[in-house]
């Protein structure tokens, strides 16, 4: 199995927001996202239709826990495709650094598919997934050590390393499984550094047993300068390099800290200066690494300051009645939206975001940067933003009919959407996507096309909203690989499994949307006592059987005494929806071609099967040539070197 490890693409440490500089005040640490080892299970998943959603749900559950505690366990499903998951950051990582490390781990673990288990050790965190409860395991046949062989040390260093290992082993079991140790090497200015971490599901005795065995094994790496023990229930590392993150000034963040310094006071002073200089150098390197993003931010700041896009926080607070719940329009993955009225009488929608982690901050910057560069009748218009108060706000045009999902998934409100209005919404959404994909200087992929992100104006015209997840890339790139983010039920299989992102991911989501508009059913909530398949699979089966009309929303017929007049049009939309949701990306049309299919009478090709129909699902053996778009000419080669993604559903 080929392995290509992605770097996490998050804006970190420094963010410039509309003239404001936000600096995280917590300890600037190293998330240590370097991969040490990945081990996949040997048992194949039983049913991909069940296994994949279970795995994604487990990752989603763990994600929420990791952001607050640096540790998470979850269980999803039952039977042979049940999924147990565990993730943990090592005790010296701050929560902010933990988020980054965990995100990187999630980009790698999906590479084990179609096997139903796997574990990954990074230098900053651990993650494991299985189809059985492994939470109490602390030893196993897969336990191993990894020795560094770049520098050979003398016996004096070896004795110091053993002393540090012994101290960590004795201290960690009664300290939530975490300990760190530093022992200076006599007669030198060197030290031996040790980190020990047991998974929090273990009791003290199991933790001690795991660390004792791991310590004995890792000692075999001496006299080499570095060693790691990768055990079923714990992780240990020693090094002649200070890889540990600084201790927070406020004290102990996750577990006690054990530091043994056999040295004089002057050595402590030198160490303090060294740590300070080290942090400074690290920050400078991080800034240089992110310089391109910072320059983009500066350009954005200048653009906003030179225009009328700035709003005072007090103005928006007053406009929304101090964010009164009575003015709340909705709540999503990126914050709450409120209706407001400006002093000049203009109605606005204000998106309110709280930056409690790096993701939210990056999303805010991304959305301002992305949407301020595009303008189209079928895209929600950004009026401005504000970060002068205690939180950052985005200001959009107000659309009185809110979002499409409020109508098509409600039998009563759905009566307001005639077939003609639904058709116009589909065409308008397609036109907006064509603009994003083809008419911009930089191609933009929205990544979260769904009914709740299609807003409706007073005449029920569609406008695409929520660009927090959008990504752009240059014309000379056939695809990009990125951490997964989106909504279950709308994400294309190649993107969900491997982070393979092209415009075809948006095409898949658009296809799901077409089927939802026609049926009035939500794809990721379609399982009922009557139907056990997803909407896409169900529609495919009914289409094959010639009974797809059974799924049509009854509201489509309320406004037509002669339903046969629009029957062919409805069926055509279903066929386009199935073409857009085909499993093989290259067989899906581009959005421009999908728009053409919707608006002309050209003959349509027969759709092939959607994802999760058979056991070959998501193997991505995409060798077909794209009949409509040259973008995918090289996609087969790209897919052959599989990239990996993280599951971060919203």
Indicate which CATH number applies to the domain containing 582.
Answer: 1.10.510.10
Indicate the range of 35-39, 66-70, 354-358 predicted with least confidence. Answer: 354-358
Under a CB-based contact definition with an 8 Å cutoff, are residues 338 and 328 in contact?
yes
Say yes or no: 474 and 560 in one domain: yes
Catalytic residue status for 448: yes
> Which two tokens mark 166?
């012994």
How is residue 325 written in tokens? 């719940």
Q: Which residue has the higher pLDDT, 169 or 369?
A: 169
Query: Are 632 and 504 contacting, i.e. CB atoms less than 8 angstroms apart?
Result: yes
pLDDT in tens, 603-623: 999 999 998 654 333 333 333
- Residues 331-334: contacts with CB under 8 Å, at least 24 apart: 332/452, 332/466, 332/650, 333/468, 333/650, 334/360, 334/363, 334/367, 334/466, 334/468
Collapsed DSSP state (helix, strand, coil) of residue 35: strand
- Is it the case that residue 16 has pLDDT exceeding 60? no
Domain termination site, one of 350, 375, 397: 397
The pLDDT assigned to 506 comes to 92
Distance CA(647)–CA(484), nearest Å, equals 5
> Residue 14: inside a domain, yes or no?
no
Q: What are phi and psi of 528, to 5 degrees?
A: -130, 180
Its pTM stands at: 0.51
How many angstroms separate the CA atoms of 117 and 131, rounded? 7
Considering the domain architecture, whether residues 459 and 549 belong to the same structural domain is answered as yes
Same domain? For 364 and 407 the reply is no
The answer to whether residues 178 and 208 belong to one domain is yes
**What distance in Å separates the CA atoms of residue 555 and residue 88, rounded to the nearest whole number?**
49
What is the reported pLDDT for 527? 45
Q: Is 608 inside a domain boundary?
A: no
- Given a contact cutoff of 8 angstroms between Cβ atoms, the answer to whether 574 and 520 are in contact is no
Nearest CA-CA partner of 611 in 24, 52, 6 = 52
Element holding 121 (H helix, E strand): strand 118-122
CA-CA-CA-CA dihedral for 421, 425, 428, 430, to nearest 10: -140
User: 18 CB contacts (<8 Å, ≥6 apart)?
Assistant: 300, 301, 304, 310, 368, 385, 386, 387, 392
Same domain? 385 vs 425: no
Residues 424, 318, single domain; the answer is no
Q: Are residues 537 and 422 located together in one domain of the fold?
A: yes
Residue with the larger pLDDT of the pair 273 and 94: 94
Last residue of a domain, one of 584, 599, 614: 599
Most confident of 181-190, 253-262, 487-496, 628-637: 181-190
What per-residue confidence (pLDDT) applies to 356?
43
Residue at 205 is within a domain: yes
Same structural domain, 117 and 184: no
Q: Which of 269, 450, 307, 453 is nearest to 379 (CA)?
A: 453
Q: Identify which of 511, 524, 531, 525 has the alpha carbon closest to the alpha carbon of residue 574.
A: 511
Question: Cβ–Cβ contacts within 10 Å for residue 550, how many?
Answer: 9
Has residue 2 been placed in a domain?
Answer: no
Cβ contacts of 270 within 8 Å, gap of 6 or more: 189
- Binding annotation for ATP: 351
Give the pLDDT band of residue 308 (cuts 50, 70, 90): low
Spatial distance between the Cα atoms of 423 and 429, rounded to a whole number of angstroms: 10
Q: Which two tokens stand for residue 113?
A: 């598919």
User: In this model, does residue 302 exceed pLDDT 60?
Assistant: no
Mean pLDDT of the 210-228 span: 94
- Asked whether residue 78 is assigned to any structural domain, the reply reads yes
Domain contains 46: yes
Q: How far is CA 548 from CA 540, 541, 542, 567, in A?
A: 8, 8, 5, 11
Residue 515: pLDDT band (50, 70, 90) is very high
Q: In what order do the strands lie in the sheet with 71-76?
A: 35-40, 118-122, 125-130, 83-89, 71-76
Q: CA 212, CA 141: separation in Å to the nearest integer?
A: 16
At 236 the three-state DSSP class reads strand
For the cut 90, the answer to whether the pLDDT of residue 366 exceeds it is no
Query: What is the spatial distance between Cα 622 and Cα 585, in angstroms, rounded to a whole number?
Result: 7
Structural domain for 564, as ranges? 402-525+533-599
pLDDT, average across residues 586-590? 94
* Cα 522 to chain centroid, rounded: 22
Neighbouring CB atoms inside 10 A of 527's CB total: 12
Q: Which residues are annotated as a binding site?
A: 351
CATH for 90: 3.30.430.20
Same domain, 455 and 485: yes
For range 556-571, the mean pLDDT = 73
Kindly state whether residues 460 and 537 are assigned to the same domain: yes
| Cα dihedral 451, 454, 455, 458 sign | negative
Overall average pLDDT of the 215-226 stretch: 93
Q: Is residue 646 part of a domain?
A: no
Would you state the pLDDT for residue 368?
64
Structural domains of the chain, count: 4
Please identify, among 397, 412, 439, the residue that sits at the C-terminal boundary of a domain: 397
* Residue 605, in any domain of the structure: no
Q: Report how far residue 567's alpha carbon sits from residue 570's, in angstroms, rounded to the nearest whole number.
A: 5
Helix (H) or strand (E) holding 350: strand 347-353
Q: Which of 92, 448, 466, 622 is catalytic?
A: 448
What's the CA gap between 538 and 576, in Å, rounded?
Answer: 15
Are residues 315 and 349 located together in one domain of the fold? yes
Q: What is the CATH number of the domain that holds 386?
A: 3.30.200.20
In angstroms, the Cα distances linking 83 to 13, 51, 111, 134 are 34, 8, 16, 11
Q: Of 27 and 540, which is predicted with more confidence?
A: 540
Same domain for 386 and 412? no
């Amino acid at each position: 199995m080929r392995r290509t490890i992605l770097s996490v693409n998050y804006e970190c440490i420094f963010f410039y927001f509309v003239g404001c500089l936000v600096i995280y005040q917590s300890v600037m640490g190293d998330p240590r996202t370097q991969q040490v080892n990945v081990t996949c299970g040997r048992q194949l998943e039983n049913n991909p239709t069940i296994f994949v959603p279970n795995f994604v749900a487990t990752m989603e559950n763990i994600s929420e826990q990791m952001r607050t505690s640096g540790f998470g366990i979850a269980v999803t499903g039952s039977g042979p495709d049940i999924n147990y998951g565990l993730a943990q950051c090592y005790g010296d990582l701050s929560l902010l650094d933990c988020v980054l490390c965990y995100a990187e781990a999630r980009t790698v673990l999906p590479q084990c598919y179609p096997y139903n288990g796997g574990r990954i050790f990074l230098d900053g965190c651990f993650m494991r997934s299985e189809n059985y409860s492994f939470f109490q395991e602390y030893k196993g046949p897969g336990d191993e050590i990894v020795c560094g062989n770049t520098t050979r040390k003398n016996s004096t260093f070896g004795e110091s390393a053993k002393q540090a290992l012994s101290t960590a082993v004795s201290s960690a079991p009664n300290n939530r499984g975490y300990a760190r140790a530093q022992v200076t090497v006599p007669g030198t200015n060197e030290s031996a550094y040790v980190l020990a971490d047991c998974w929090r599901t273990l009791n003290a005795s199991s933790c001690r047993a795991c660390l004792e065995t791991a310590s004995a094994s890792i000692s075999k790496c001496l006299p080499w300068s570095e060693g790691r023990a990768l055990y079923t229930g714990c992780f240990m590392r020693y090094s002649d390099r200070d890889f540990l993150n600084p201790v927070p000034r406020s004290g102990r963040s996750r577990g006690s800290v054990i530091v043994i310094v056999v040295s004089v006071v002057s050595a402590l002073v030198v160490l303090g200066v060294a740590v300070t200089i080290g942090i400074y150098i690290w920050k400078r390197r991080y800034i240089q690494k992110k310089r391109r993003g910072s320059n983009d931010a500066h350009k954005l700041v200048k653009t906003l300051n030179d225009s009328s896009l700035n709003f005072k926080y007090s103005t928006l607070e007053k406009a929304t009645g101090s964010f009164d719940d009575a003015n709340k329009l909705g709540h999503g993955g990126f914050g709450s939206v409120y209706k407001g009225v400006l002093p000049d009488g203009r109605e606005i929608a204000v998106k309110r975001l709280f930056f409690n982690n790096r993701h939210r901050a990056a999303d805010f910057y991304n959305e301002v940067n992305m949407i301020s560069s595009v303008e189209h009748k079928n895209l929600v218009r950004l009026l401005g933003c504000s970060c002068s108060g205690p939180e950052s706000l985005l200001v959009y045009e107000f659309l009185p009919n809110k979002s499409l999902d409020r109508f098509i998934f409600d039998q009563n409100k759905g009566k307001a959407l005639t077939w003609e209005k639904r058709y116009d919404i589909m065409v308008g959404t397609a036109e907006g996507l064509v603009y994003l994909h083809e008419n911009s200087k930089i191609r933009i992929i929205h990544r979260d096309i769904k009914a709740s992100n299609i807003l409706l104006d007073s005449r029920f015209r569609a406008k695409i909203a929520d660009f927090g997840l959008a990504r752009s890339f240059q014309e000379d790139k056939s695809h990009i690989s990125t951490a997964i983010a989106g909504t279950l039920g709308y994400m294309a299989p190649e993107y969900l499994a491997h982070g393979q992102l092209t415009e075809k991911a948006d095409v898949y989501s658009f296809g799901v949307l077409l089927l939802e508009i026609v049926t009035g059913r939500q794809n990721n909530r379609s399982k009922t006592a009557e139907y056990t398949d997803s909407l896409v699979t169900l529609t495919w089966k009914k289409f094959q059987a010639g009974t797809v009309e059974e799924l049509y929303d009854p509201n489509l017929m309320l406004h037509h005494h002669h339903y046969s007049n629009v029957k062919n049009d409805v069926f055509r939309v279903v066929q386009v929806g199935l073409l857009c949701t085909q499993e093989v990306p290259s067989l899906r049309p581009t959005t421009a071609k999908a728009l053409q299919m919707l608006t002309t009478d050209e003959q349509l090709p027969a759709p092939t099967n959607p994802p999760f129909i058979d056991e070959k699902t998501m193997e991505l053996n995409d060798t077909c040539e794209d009949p409509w778009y040259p973008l995918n000419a090289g996609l087969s080669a790209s897919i052959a070197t599989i990239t990996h993604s993280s599951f971060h559903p919203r």
